[in-house]
Every structure is written in C-alpha cells, then in structure tokens.
Amino acid sequence: MANPSKSIIVSLVFLFIALSIFAKADMALPPTIVNVKYNGVAVNGNFSAAMLTCSNNTNYTMQSITPQLNVSIYDTEKKCYWNYNDGDEAYCKNGVCEFYFFPSKDLRMVFYLPDVNRTFVTNEVSINNGTVFNYDAGLYSNGTALLIVGASVPNSPIPPNGEIVIAVAVVLTIIIEVIISFAYLSVVKIKKKKDILIAVAVANVISVLAIWLVFIYFFGVIGFVAGEVFAILFDGYVTYRFNKKTITLKRSMIMSLIMNIVSLVIGLLILLSLAAFFII
C-alpha cells in the first residue's frame, strides 16, 4: 500500500509545476517591453496596444477594452485571421508598452494613438517561444507601422525599474512564506520557531534572486519552472541544514513545498490585479 504522505507530496509537486507553467505562460515575468515612436519621436502620454495572433476562427468575438484595437485581417498566405486575443492588451505610456503575457507564436501588434485618432497594424515578427524580448515599433503618419525585435537586451529578466520589481518580489515572497512557515510550525507543534523562520527568510532571498537572474534569464519559461522546483528543494534543505535539532528534513521539505505553492498563487493573483489595474 502506498505511503499517504508520499502520495500527497507527489500530488503537491505536480500541482506546483502546473501552477508555475500557467503563471509563466500567461503572466510573463517580466513583461514584454515595446518601445514605440511616432514619426521618430517617442509617443507622449497614454495610448493603447494589443498583440495580434493568426487564428482560423472566422467568428472571433473582439473583446478589447479599446474598440480601435478590434481589428481582424485575413492572411492570404497563412489562410488565417490576425486579431486581438483576450487579455493581450498592454499598458502604454510615454513611448513604452508593457505586455504581461508570453506570446506563443509569431505575432503582429496593433496600436491606437488618441492624439492622432489613428490605428496602426504592424508587420509580422517571429518570436522565440518562452523567451522575453524587447521590441521596437515605429508608427508613421502615412499609416504604416514597423515592428522589430529590439536591440536592447533580449532575454533580459529586468524591465525598466527592474531593480524595484525584483526588490518587491523578494520582500513579498519573504513576508508570505514566513507567515506560512509560522502557521505550519504551529500546526506541527514545533515551539522553537525563530531560527527556522530566519533560515526561511535568508533562503528565500537567495532563491528568488536565483530564479530571476539565473533561471529566467537563461531559460525563459522552462527556467521559471525549473527555478521554482529549485526553490522548493533549496529552501527546504537550507532550513533543515541550519535547524537539524528542531525540524526533520521531511517536515522542512513539506513546509517549503506548501509555502512556495501559496506564495506562487498569491503572487499570481497580485500580478493579475496589477495587470488589470494598469490596463483599466
């Protein structure tokens, strides 16, 4: 008969990996950055943009917050329609658009500039799935638009003000996981919690930075998933290594798994809320 605790651990691991893939595929940590110029000058103020992908669905219902982005263009070569995807609208201001999504295939982009009351649809560009890119978009008064992969730091995991983003990620992760660790230690009735919680905090600083600056930087989506698995093992082992007299390796790993799952879910909800706030 299978060990119930092992079955639970295996199930939680699979759940965690699934959540990691979902979070990364749909929330693009960090965002895709697009630098936008109109007639060679960075677009001033707020404007709108969305990613277009080619779909075979001729009855596609447009749901863009900005009606001017609701375009549908038939591609005679690919025999599909370029149109807007729900949720792929960007937050754009002062020449920069941030997309909080990873496109999964080749794309075009559509821009609406309220100052000139005009919509621009770019050319198609090929992308490397799972890798964060910067793009440059040139919009022109004759109605044309050119989209290219930006020369500025492809694969960079650090968007503008990225140091602040990473710092916030570290702080939020520590707060969430220390709270979860405290709750877990209380449930399993471990009284000497202070040293364990300190180890959890220190391990999280290292593992979060490793995920952002190593795993995501070099391996994109796959690196994110691998980094999260690394975080579970690293956080669990470091906590146990410095608290052998207080907590067993098994309990330390279970605690690490739980706190990483919870922080991932809460972090995903926060990012969804921020993305919705910026778009609205």
Beta bridge partners of 35: 96, 136
More confident residue, 158 or 194: 194
Cβ neighbours of residue 19 closer than 8 Å, sequence gap 6 or more? 261, 264, 265, 268
Cα dist. 245→190, 239, 241 in Å? Answer: 11, 11, 9
Q: Model confidence at 107, in pLDDT bands (50, 70, 90)?
A: confident
Asked if the bond preceding 157 is cis, omega within 30° of 0, the reply is no
Structural domain range at position 141: 32-149
More confident residue, 192 or 221: 192
Q: String of b and e for 172-191 (b: at least 16 CB within 10 Å)?
A: ebbebbbebbeebbeeeebe
Residues 20 and 36 in one domain: no
pLDDT surpassing 60 at residue 188: yes
Pairing state between β 118-121 and 108-113: antiparallel
Residues 105 and 171 in one domain: no
More confident residue, 189 or 153: 189
pTM summary value = 0.51
> What would the mean pLDDT of 237-249 be, rounded to a whole number?
93
Q: Is 22 inside any structural domain?
A: yes
| Tokens read off for 198 | 């300190």
User: Measured between alpha carbons, how far is 120 from 141 in angstroms, rounded to an integer?
Assistant: 10
* Domain boundary residue, one of 89, 117, 149: 149
Residues 115 and 209 in one domain: no
Q: Is 62 inside any structural domain?
A: yes
Return the pLDDT at 54.
82
At 171-185, the pLDDT tens digits run 888 898 999 999 999
DSSP 274: H
Residues 128 and 141 in one domain: yes
Q: Model confidence at 160, in pLDDT bands (50, 70, 90)?
A: very low
Q: Is 211 inside any structural domain?
A: yes
More confident residue, 140 or 135: 140
* Domain boundary residue, one of 149, 167, 182: 149
At 4-45, the pLDDT tens digits run 445 444 544 554 444 444 443 333 355 678 899 999 999 999
Residues 103 and 202 in one domain: no
Residues 66 and 118 in one domain: yes
Residues 68 and 178 in one domain: no
Return the pLDDT at 118.
95
Q: Is 154 inside any structural domain?
A: no
Residues 141 and 165 in one domain: no
Residues 43 and 66 in one domain: yes
Any idea what the CATH number is for the domain that residue 46 is in? 2.60.40
* Domain boundary residue, one of 118, 149, 180: 149
Residues 135 and 186 in one domain: no
Domain count, the chain: 2
Q: What is the total residue count of the chain?
A: 280
Residues 252 and 274 in one domain: yes
pLDDT surpassing 50 at residue 278: no
Task: Name the residue among 142, 111, 105 with its Cα closest to residue 43.
Answer: 111
Among 48-57, 175-184, 214-223, the least confident range: 214-223
Calculate the average pLDDT of the chain.
Answer: 77
Q: Is 106 inside any structural domain?
A: yes
Residues 36 and 92 in one domain: yes
pLDDT surpassing 70 at residue 249: yes
